[in-house]
Chains A and B, each alone.
Chain A
């Protein structure tokens, strides 16, 4: 019985230690401002400046605008989808259109016809039928011309 009690206490200790998260104690020691800046950028870290570009593009386009996202990656899994899905969140008031065919490494040329705006991360060849509306060091915004 005594052995069983010791084993029971040991199992409780194992559960407690296994479940414990020292992180929640360390959280009190975080320097909030740099940590907040780090966390805010973390989901977009593979595309530096992407978050800034999208948050600046949002107010420059009307709500509900159809925006095609151009990225310098034409492989769905290797780069394009990373920016595309994040752009949907950052441009939540707009309708974001992919340049590529969904889940494929192929540019879908007809997508440009669906778009009213094109946002290019860094640089892109001028989209035919669009005029430059705004630019920053992170990219360009193109509006459909007449």
Chain B
């Protein structure tokens, strides 16, 4: 366990100067910690990827050396840019945060009780990470083998690489403690989410909403890439919303980096970038779409290598067009499957719907986030239109899991809708815009 916690600490140390050296750095310490983990773990995964692409075998020493150089540059940039945190102000609302911490503790206990049990960990995320760890690099031969198609060789590899960071630094495969990664991504996402809530709500309500939405940001699927996708995707969307509302290129750049890491985590992250671009266009901000270019810098190298090694996605297996025509001409099986599989608790969606109806005028100003979430939902459904698998099986297997990726953002949108009604301290919102 100590090795896994030290690996998380290493991600934080590497990520902190990255978080402060980028434009629009958060001044709230809690947000900075969250972003430090997100950027640090992502950067370390990227470093391992770069070593492999260059044909250099991984070692802990090499990783430490490379990150020391990158960290040094980031610290110099931070000093040059000038960054100072705001002093944390403790309020009675922090008592609610203590309750949130209790829930997180319970999640952490569950996540680290045993090695992950999910079959997708065993045949996809964990298997790839172990193969790479043994090969001390990305095992392209393994990915190209016809025997390994069910491991979804086309899936982005950020998470296996983060597992390998833990293995390299700890000197052994961290089997039982692999769940620490899910916990760390959950905490990181929750800290940043909490910071964004604070910009919209009073201290009491931002703490209360953080407590209520805690389970949405902590994926119950331990060892799967849902955890990083939830964190990167949610943070990316909220930064983009912030950037568009304040016309800040700095926020948009940060958002694009997070969306890039989301795409480096799972294929849904790729469609999330497309959905965000559509959201920007519908919100009348199409001139800013090109500013998402950092996403391409983050995920582009993986896409290039995937294409070079001809790693095919199963959704696009032969006869795609025939399947689309067939499913759309007879949509009943697909619709039946979608209706039959509940996504989370019905009460949650009733609450979100009611909140959006109550705050429909306020939501009119949130076209970007609303449209992005709707378009991404449609991308999810389209995957079932093209799937070569049995529709009912595929929907049952994944619909709830992937749709949960959007639940924190939906909850955030709902809270914005009702913010003026529940949070009477709207006047202090401006003073808490500490990410500027």
Residues in A lying within 8 Å of B, measured CB to CB? 4-5, 7-21, 23-28, 30, 32, 35-36, 39-40, 42-43, 63, 81, 85-86, 88-89, 92-93, 96-98, 102
Q: Could you write out 13 A-B pairs with CB less than 8 Å apart?
A: A8-B418, A15-B212, A16-B212, A17-B351, A18-B349, A18-B351, A24-B110, A24-B214, A39-B113, A39-B114, A86-B123, A89-B122, A93-B134
- Contact between A35 and B351 (Cβ–Cβ < 8 Å)? no
- Contact between A24 and B215 (Cβ–Cβ < 8 Å)? yes
Cβ contact of B354, chosen from A7, A19, A85, A96, cutoff 8 A:
A7
Hey, which chain A residues are within 8 Å of B113, CB to CB?
30, 32, 35-36, 39
Q: Within the assembled complex, what's the spacing in Å between the Cα atoms of A12 and B352? A: 8
- Contact between A12 and B415 (Cβ–Cβ < 8 Å)? yes
Cβ contact of B213, chosen from A11, A15, A23, A35, cutoff 8 A:
A15
- Contact between B107 and A24 (Cβ–Cβ < 8 Å)? yes
Hey, which chain A residues are within 8 Å of B115, CB to CB?
39-40
Q: Within the assembled complex, what's the spacing in Å between the Cα atoms of A14 and B353? A: 10
Q: Within the assembled complex, what's the spacing in Å between the Cα atoms of A111 and B109? A: 43
A-B pairs with beta carbons under 8 A, tally: 148
Residues in B lying within 8 Å of A, measured CB to CB? 102-107, 109-110, 113-115, 117-119, 122-123, 126-127, 130-131, 134, 146-151, 208-209, 211-216, 218, 220, 344-352, 354-355, 358-359, 407, 411, 414-415, 418, 421-422
Given A18-B351, A19-B344, A86-B122, A11-B418 contact (CB < 8 Å): yes
User: Shortest CB–CB separation between residue B373 and chain A, in angstroms?
Assistant: 15
Hey, which chain B residues are within 8 Å of A21, CB to CB?
103, 215, 220
Hey, which chain B residues are within 8 Å of A27, CB to CB?
106-107, 109-110
User: Shortest CB–CB separation between residue B203 and chain A, in angstroms?
Assistant: 16
Hey, which chain B residues are within 8 Å of A19, CB to CB?
212-216, 344-345, 348, 407, 411
A11-B351, A12-B208, A15-B415 known; 9 other A-B pairs, CB under 8 Å? Answer: A8-B418, A8-B421, A15-B414, A17-B345, A23-B106, A25-B102, A36-B113, A85-B119, A92-B130
Q: Within the assembled complex, what's the spacing in Å between the Cα atoms of A92 and B142? A: 11
Q: Within the assembled complex, what's the spacing in Å between the Cα atoms of A42 and B118? A: 9
- Contact between A12 and B106 (Cβ–Cβ < 8 Å)? no
- Contact between A89 and B123 (Cβ–Cβ < 8 Å)? yes
Given A18-B345, A20-B215, A35-B114, A85-B130 contact (CB < 8 Å): no
- Contact between B114 and A14 (Cβ–Cβ < 8 Å)? no
User: Shortest CB–CB separation between residue A70 and chain B, in angstroms?
Assistant: 16
- Contact between B352 and A15 (Cβ–Cβ < 8 Å)? yes
